């Protein structure tokens, strides 16, 4: 497939935004159980939610560049019963709204106790809103991943690993971003987040490697024989019917040289997985904001390459009909 940068930015930016929110809420949950020191609602959770919203907003903004008619985007909520894209279109703004409420309740300090469970566990408003937003964040990962995983003849995508990788890569970049933010805000949690970012990045390395391994062994179900229905082992296209370009020759081919394609296959795991783990570890040692920021920039650049590769690697069966001029 031809990788569209609008979609690459959409999926990586909202992934980081979702991950950042989940990191914030993880921090709050830990502090509820007194595992980490409680943070100032106003600066940390308030501004943290704002940062998450900025990433989500930028992702949403990027998505409009993918549309031929952005002014009709509201129509895309219509077919949520059948279309994962439609579901994403509903879940993304819902998650953003819930993140906004989460941020505002923290920022204003309006946090009444709603109820207590067995007289020990106190559930206040922010905890409940955050819980709902967490559900929406994971639902959004599911929707985004399923948009690709549900197309069964794009065999490189049609696997649960697609959803798992979207989730884990979003979480990894979000926790790295949370590390940067905590370090910037001068909060003790920086190394806590860095530790989680490393753990999630390592798990994501395994699942992404699994999908690379799986994809390298795929046997295409569609062949020339099934494409034109002629039972012969030797079928060669002599003409695709036109000499000029068309949508079919632009949309489904990545147009990168074999060398370029192979080099990105090696570059993205280094940038997304190897380097961030090393940089985050050294950041934990020195507790330096600049090093954490560098880790996030490297990982985000890696994610852009990862997403590019994700699209480029998918081999659409229609390409069988467009092999030669």
Partner 1 sequence: MKQLALVIDLNVCVGCHACVTSCKEWNTSGTAGSMSDFNPYEEDPTGNFFNRVQTFEIGTYPNTETVHFPKSCLHCEEPPCVPVCPTGASYKREEDGIVLVDYDKCIGCKYCSWACPYGARELDEEQKVMKKCTLCVDRIYDESLPEAERKPSCVLACPTSARLFGDVKDPDSSISETIRENGGYQLMPEWGTKPANHYLPRRKTKVTIHEDELTRVDNPLNKERQLPMPDDDEQTLDDVMSW
Interface with partner 1 (CB under 8 A): 1, 66-70, 72-73, 75-79, 82-86, 89, 147, 150-154, 221-222, 224, 226-230, 232, 234-242, 244-248, 251-252, 316-319, 321-322
Nearer to partner 1, 112 or 245 (CB): 245
| Eight-class DSSP state of 70 | G
Q: CA of 180: how far to CAs of 22, 73, 175, 197, 273, in Å?
A: 15, 34, 9, 11, 17
Nearer to partner 1, 47 or 252 (CB): 252
For the bound state, the minimum distance from the C-beta of residue 98 to partner 1, rounded and expressed in Å, comes to: 21
For the bound state, the minimum distance from the C-beta of residue 264 to partner 1, rounded and expressed in Å, comes to: 21
CA distance 266 to 273: 11
Nearer to partner 1, 106 or 316 (CB): 316
Beta strand ranges found along 28-158 (DSSP E): 113-117, 121-124
Query: What sign does the dihedral 65-267-16-163 (CA atoms) show?
Result: positive
Determine the angle formed by the axes of helices 160-184 and 47-64, rounding to 10 degrees: 130
CB 28 within 8 A of CB 45: yes
Q: 128, exposed or middle or buried, with CB in 10 Å at 0-12, 13-18, 19+?
A: middle
CA distance 193 to 210: 25
For the bound state, the minimum distance from the C-beta of residue 218 to partner 1, rounded and expressed in Å, comes to: 14
Nearer to partner 1, 217 or 238 (CB): 238
For the bound state, the minimum distance from the C-beta of residue 138 to partner 1, rounded and expressed in Å, comes to: 21
For the bound state, the minimum distance from the C-beta of residue 163 to partner 1, rounded and expressed in Å, comes to: 16
Nearer to partner 1, 31 or 76 (CB): 76
């Amino acid at each position: 497939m031809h990788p569209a940068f609008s979609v690459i930015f959409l999926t990586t930016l909202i992934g980081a935004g979702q991950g950042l929110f989940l990191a914030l809420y993880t921090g709050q949950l830990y502090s509820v159980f007194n595992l980490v020191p409680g943070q100032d609602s106003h600066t940390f959770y308030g501004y943290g939610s704002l940062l998450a919203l900025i990433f989500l907003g930028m992702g949403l903004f990027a998505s409009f560049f993918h549309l031929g008619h952005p002014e009709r985007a509201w129509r895309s909520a219509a077919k949520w019963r059948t279309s994962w894209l439609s579901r994403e279109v509903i879940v993304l703004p819902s998650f953003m709204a819930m993140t906004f409420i989460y941020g505002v309740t923290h920022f204003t300090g309006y946090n009444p106790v709603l109820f207590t469970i067995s007289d020990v566990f106190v559930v206040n408003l922010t905890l409940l809103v955050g819980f709902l937003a967490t559900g929406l964040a994971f639902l959004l990962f599911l929707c985004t991943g399923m948009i690709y995983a549900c197309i069964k003849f794009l065999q490189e995508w049609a696997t649960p690993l697609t959803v798992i990788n979207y989730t884990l890569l979003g979480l990894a970049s979000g926790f790295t971003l949370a590390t940067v933010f905590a370090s910037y805000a001068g909060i003790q949690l920086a190394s806590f987040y860095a530790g989680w970012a490393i753990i999630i990045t390592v798990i994501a390395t395994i699942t992404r490697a699994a999908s690379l391994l799986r994809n390298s062994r795929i046997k295409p179900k569609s062949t020339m024989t099934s494409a034109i229905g002629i039972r012969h082992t030797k079928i060669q296209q002599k003409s695709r019917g036109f000499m000029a370009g068309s949508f079919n020759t632009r949309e489904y081919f990545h147009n990168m040289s074999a060398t370029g394609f192979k080099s990105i296959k090696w570059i993205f795991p280094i940038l997304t997985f190897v380097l961030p783990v090393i940089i985050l570890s050294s950041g934990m040692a020195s507790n330096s904001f600049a090093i954490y920021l560098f880790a996030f920039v490297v990982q985000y650049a890696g994610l852009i390459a990862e997403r590019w590769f994700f699209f480029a690697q998918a081999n659409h069966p229609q390409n069988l009909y467009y092999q030669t001029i």
